[in-house]
Amino acid sequence: MHIAAEVPAPVSRPKRRKALWLIALAATTALGGLTYAFTGVEDTVGEGLQERPMACSEAMYAMGWVLPDHASDQRCTELSGGLAGHTQSGIFRMPRADARSWLASLPGERNRPGGVGSDSVVERKEGLALGILRPPGSLQADEVRVDVRWEGEDTAAVTFETFDY
């Protein structure tokens, strides 16, 4: 007894063309999406971002804060547009002796990492740090990080950056 194996019917040419066309369409769509992801979004961010210098007192006011007395060497910027939302950053110098009390006076919900005091100021060998969630000013920031670095016996460099998630 001889059993003949069933041979599948050949795929017709119209179905084969349709399948190839769908594969080509899917590949083109995928490549187009990847191209946009690597170039289109980058162009949008690059074109949409605007950085401008601003007074540090203005940046502090927008967060509901006051620039410390005797602040010097102030350089602050505002970055807006694109995917960045609206952020501010800056650096200034102030008397080292006033740094902790100034940080402790800043209003806003404290980001309380483990092992810090009741004022949420983190003490380090090289300086101080503080995180504020949603500062009370007009700037719609989700977080502000303030870092103080000792520059000598009398001077501290203060940097801050806002984050809009």
User: 9 pLDDT band (50/70/90 cuts)?
Assistant: low
User: 41 pLDDT band (50/70/90 cuts)?
Assistant: very low
Domain 50-163 belongs to what topology?
Answer: Protein Transport Mog1p; Chain A (3.40.1000)
**What pLDDT shows up at residue 3?**
61
**What pLDDT shows up at residue 149?**
98
Residues in contact with 41: Cβ distance below 8 Å, sequence separation at least 6, in sequence order:
83
Can you tell me the distance from the alpha carbon of 64 to that of 60, in angstroms, rounded to the nearest whole number?
6
Percent of the chain with pLDDT over 90: 48
Higher pLDDT, 164 or 45: 164
Q: How far apart are the first and last CA of the chain?
A: 75
Higher pLDDT, 80 or 88: 88
User: 111 pLDDT band (50/70/90 cuts)?
Assistant: confident
Average pLDDT over residues 120-146: 92
User: What one-character DSSP code corresponds to residue 143?
Assistant: E
Average pLDDT over residues 135-152: 93
- This prediction has a pTM of 0.68
Q: Give the angle subtended at the CA of 24 by the CAs of 18 and 27, to the nearest 5°.
A: 140
Average pLDDT over residues 22-50: 53
Average pLDDT over residues 76-96: 86
User: 16 pLDDT band (50/70/90 cuts)?
Assistant: low
